[in-house]
């Protein structure tokens, strides 16, 4: 799940009309809310274990973003999903992001609503992912940010 969030944050930040500057970027993110409705009969301890592993999960990364990465960000992200994801809506203008993407992976349908702001050297995003898989419906809300830290 962290990989999907990270990829979407980079792709979202990298595809706007006000493009980001190529270079070394530091990104951070965290899961701020996780809700899951389990099927009847699943012990409460299992539900608590899953929630504790997901809620508050955070990550950080540093990556070199090239001009080619910026030019091909959404296409590259979705080609890496083996055609299982697509943008339903994407608007990144005036320093703001408003996007919706949908994916079907491993039998789970996910809808990702992304909002945020960006400049050529920073971005902040909030993403709400909803899905319905074998274990039942779930909602994950995450926040992320990135800062250009220098040249590669």
> What is the predicted pLDDT for the residue at 11?
52
d(CA 121, CA 150): 10
Percent of the chain with pLDDT over 70: 80
> Structural domain boundaries of the chain?
2-150
Whether residue 110 contacts residue 131, with contact meaning beta carbons closer than 8 Å, is answered with: yes
> What is the predicted pLDDT for the residue at 5?
37
Confidence band (pLDDT; 50, 70, 90) for 87? Answer: confident
Confidence band (pLDDT; 50, 70, 90) for 9? Answer: very low
pLDDT greater than 60 at residue 80:
no
Range of weakest confidence among 1-15, 37-51, 121-135: 1-15
pLDDT greater than 50 at residue 1:
no
Can you name the residues that pair with 131 across neighbouring β-strands?
110, 138
Within the chain, residue ranges assigned H as helices are 2-14, 44-54, 67-71, 73-80
pLDDT tens digit string along 91-148?
877 888 888 888 887 777 889 898 998 888 988 999 999 998 777 788 989 999 989 9
């Amino acid at each position: 799940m962290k990989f999907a969030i990270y990829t979407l944050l980079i792709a979202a930040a990298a595809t706007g009309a006000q493009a980001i500057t190529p270079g070394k970027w530091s990104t951070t993110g965290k899961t701020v809310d996780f809700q899951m409705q389990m099927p009847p009969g699943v012990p409460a301890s299992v539900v608590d274990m899953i929630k504790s592993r997901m809620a508050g999960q955070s990550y950080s990364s540093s990556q070199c973003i090239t001009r080619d990465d910026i030019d091909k960000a959404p296409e590259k992200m979705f080609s890496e999903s083996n055609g299982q994801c697509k943008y339903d809506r994407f608007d990144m203008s005036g320093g703001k992001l408003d996007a919706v993407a949908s994916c079907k992976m491993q039998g789970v349908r996910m809808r990702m609503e992304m909002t945020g702001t960006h400049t050529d050297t920073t971005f902040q995003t909030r993403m709400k992912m909803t899905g319905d898989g074998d274990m039942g419906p779930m909602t994950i809300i995450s926040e992320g940010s990135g800062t250009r830290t220098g040249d590669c």
